[in-house]
Structure 1
Amino acid sequence: MSHIKQVGFTLIELMIALALGLVIVAAATMLFLTSSRSQALQQGQLSLQDDANFGLNYIVKDIRLGNLNTINSSINDLTTYGGIVFRSSENSVEVSGVERANIPISIVGKTVNETLLTRSDGLEVGTSPQWTGVSNVQDRSSDQLTIQFVPQYVLDHKNTANENDDVWYGGSDCEGTELEFSRTEGRQVIVQRYFLRPDNNNSKNEPNTPLALACDAGHYPLEGSPNEITGLGDDGEIILQRVDHFRVLYSIQSGENHRYVDTATYMAMASRPRILAVQLGVLARSNQSVGTGTEFSDSQVFRVLDQDVTVTKPIGNSSKYARQVVTQTIALRNAFGERGQ
């Protein structure tokens, strides 16, 4: 009988082939992991930039309405019916024997509590949904900005001779509520406050306390002696998610001295000059983790306008997130005109 010769790989050849295969698989795995990390980083940075820029631009559009349709072009802590709201009947000041504030003195009670007005780091905080100074950075409180303005109303006569069904239309406020008031109610002054608050619509894996920049709006009658602000003092509507810190500064000029100050500094001045512009700064975070690499340090310092801040290190969460500081300087166009001070 003839013997059949068997042909195959030797043990050494199999070992070499297996080693080469493992090298190729390892290289492919490294390429895949690197691509995944790069994609996560790019998506995180993209969502971060889109959310922060678009969200802040939405606020900028509203803040430019500050002091709209008021007689006095000067914005300070005594500008009534317009401007930035620093004072109410709760913290009014006496000028020439008359109590003065931004909100009419006739309005008293919880709707004009100081913690619903413009606030900054270092001032007394309230309880939620009032301003609490909540922030995700170490040893700093976030700020709150409250503005007021009179919309450009249009009176709709409903094509009837009956004035009882006439309606004032003034667009919508920052919560998306249509500004529609009857002739009896009259035109209303709109009050809007911007502040950080916890965001309950979030993932369980997110670091720290998920915070969002929200806007709360209310209104009171322009004519007569109003006694309350309707709608102000609730949780408001979220404008920008995943914000770790919110800072506000004001451009003031006294003679040739021009500088930016926060609310606490401005209110402590013996003479409060007019405000010409507002600076906003937010420390925003990406919506997803960008991995656990060392390129994002827990001790990284961010410059938010005049503050150097470090994010509070989360407990039990090693995932890293991209963060970015976004700032805007807003000229208060309704505050320009003859400068009396």
Structure 2
Amino acid sequence: MRKQQGYTLIELMIALALGLIIVAAVVLLLLVGVRSNAMQQGVADLQDDANFGLNYITQDIRLANLKTATAKINDQTVYGGIVLSLHNLPEKFHNLSSILLSRSDFGLSHVAQKSDQLVIQYRPMTTGGFDCEGRRIDDTNSTIIQRYFLRIDNVKESGEEQPLSLACDAGRYSDDSDVILDYGDNGEIIMKRVDHFHVLLSISTDQNLRRYISIQDYMALEGDKPRILGVLLGALTRSVQNVGKDKSIEQNNHFTVLDQNVVVQSNGLPKGYIRRVVSQEIALRNALGERE
């Protein structure tokens, strides 16, 4: 009579335990891989969006003050490249709403401080280009005016309440027209998911030194204001998609945007998103030197 072969109860329990350990390890590796992929995708999307947006803005802002009679830019320069007051526009447009001018602490934001708004203008040298909303530039006698600001993005992912994006609103006017065409609307989004937008002006002091100052502080200066030589842009950007709320990827919601310390508030969905502060200094080449 043959003796039966088989597993003992102890061997079976050991085999089951080893099997569970292996399955748990595989599941853990899978979860880590999914979180890592989401993290990498979030960072990649954030960097691509931020780099594209800033490069796009930089190219346009460098055109500011193009084809003007003087290189000096301040709040009184007619056709001046940075539109700070109605005096930067022809007198016939002095009824334009001040909310369409460069302003500090003015617009939508997901931090305690409000975002800034930057308005530039220039007269193109050649035809064939496009303004920031994609409208073709067909003549060189019109002045292009462009406004950069944050607005709510209606195209949003599941779970997002009021995502903000950096948009550009472009218009144009000519010497023989009494209206600024196409200006004052929602504009075209050029950088998605921006929680805060901040602008500093680079100005020349009496000692021929440079310093940075907010638009609000610049406008508060008394007397003949110093000339503007450039702008410094700062943006608190975030990933479009949620990358998870795991402790290992949780971010501190305190950031420094140029000269501001900001904290992302609850309406900005602070948890589960990758955030980065990006900045760009832009010298206004058309504001350098002298043209009198």
TM over 0.5: yes
CA distance in 1 between counterparts of 2:53 and 2:76 reads 30
Gaps of 5+ in 1: 89-100, 126-132, 154-168
Task: Report how far residue 300 of structure 1 moved.
Answer: 2.4
Paired position in structure 2 for 1:262 = 214
Distance (Å, rounded) in 1 between the aligned partners of 2:52 and 2:230:
20
Deviation of 1:102 (Å): 0.2
Q: Residue 302 in 1 paired to residue 255 in 2? A: yes
Superposition deviation, residue 227 in structure 1: 2.1
C-alpha distance in 2 between matches for 1:87 and 1:71:
18
* 1:216-255 per-position Cα deviation (integer Å, ceiling 9, x unaligned): 011111x35x422111000000101111110000011212
Q: Aligned partners of 2:128, 2:101: CA distance in 1, in Å?
A: 23
1:265-314 per-residue CA deviation (whole Å, 9 max, x = no partner) reads 00000131000110001111012222112245565211111111111124
Question: Which residue is equivalent to 1:145?
Answer: 118
The answer to whether the aligner puts 1:195 opposite 2:195 as a matched pair is no
| Contact 1:136 1:209 (C-alpha < 8 Å) held by counterparts | no
Return the match for 2:279 from 290, 306, 327. 327
In 2, Cα distance between the equivalents of 1:191 and 1:318?
Answer: 34
The alpha carbon displacement at 1:30 in A equals 1.1
Change (3 A) 1:203 1:231: same
Counterpart selection for 2:138 from 180, 193, 198: 180
- Name the aligned partner's letter for residue 110 of structure 2: N
Aligned twin of 1:239 = 190
Q: Which amino acid aligns with 2:88?
A: N
Shift of 1:5: 3.0
SS in 1 for 2:13: helix
Report deviation, 1:34: 1.2
* Alignment partner, residue 108 of structure 2: 134
Corresponding position: 1:227 with 2:178: yes
**266, 277, 292: which one aligns with 1:313:** 266
The question of whether the paired residues in 2 share the 8 Å contact of 1:108 and 1:227 is answered with no
Question: How many correspondences in the alignment?
Answer: 290
- CA separation in 1, counterparts of 2:266 and 2:248? 15
Larger radius of gyration: 1
Q: Which amino acid aligns with 2:114?
A: S
Asked if 1 retains the 8 angstrom alpha-carbon contact of 2:239 and 2:274, the reply is: yes
- The structure where helix makes up a greater share of residues is 2
- In structure 2, the residue corresponding to 1:278 is in which secondary structure? strand
Q: Give me the TM-score of the superposition, normalised by structure 2.
A: 0.94
Q: How do 1:200-219 residues align onto structure 2 when only pairs under 5 Å count?
A: 200-206=154-160, 208-219=161-172
Conserved? CA contact 1:65–1:149, under 8 Å: yes
Secondary structure of 2:18's counterpart equals helix
TM-score of the two chains, using structure 1 as the length reference? 0.81
Contact 1:175–1:236 (8 Å) recurs in 2? yes
CA distance in 1 between partners of 2:74 and 2:3 (Å): 102
Percent identical residues: 53
Extract unaligned runs of 5+ from structure 2: none
2: CA distance, partners of 1:276 / 1:318: 36
Alignment-mate amino acid for residue 93 of structure 2:
I
Q: Which amino acid aligns with 1:309?
A: V
CA distance in 1: counterparts of 2:248 and 2:215, whole angstroms: 35
1:338 counterpart = 2:286: no
Alpha-carbon contact 2:109-2:195 (below 8 Å) kept:
yes
2:110/2:267 contact within 8 Å kept: no
Distance in structure 2 (CA, Å) of the matches to 1:276 and 1:261: 12
More off after superposition, 245-254 vs 255-264: 255-264
Displacement after TM superposition at 1:13 (Å): 0.7
The one-letter code matched in structure 2 to 1:134 is L
SS at match of 1:284: strand
The alpha-carbon deviation at position 204 of structure 1 amounts to 2.5
Q: Indicate how the Cα distance of structure 1 residues 170 and 262 shifts in structure 2: closer, same or farther if over 3 A, else same.
A: farther
Q: Indicate which of 265, 269, 289 corresponds to 2:242.
A: 289
What amino acid is the match of 1:146?
A: V
User: One-letter code of the match for 1:320?
Assistant: G
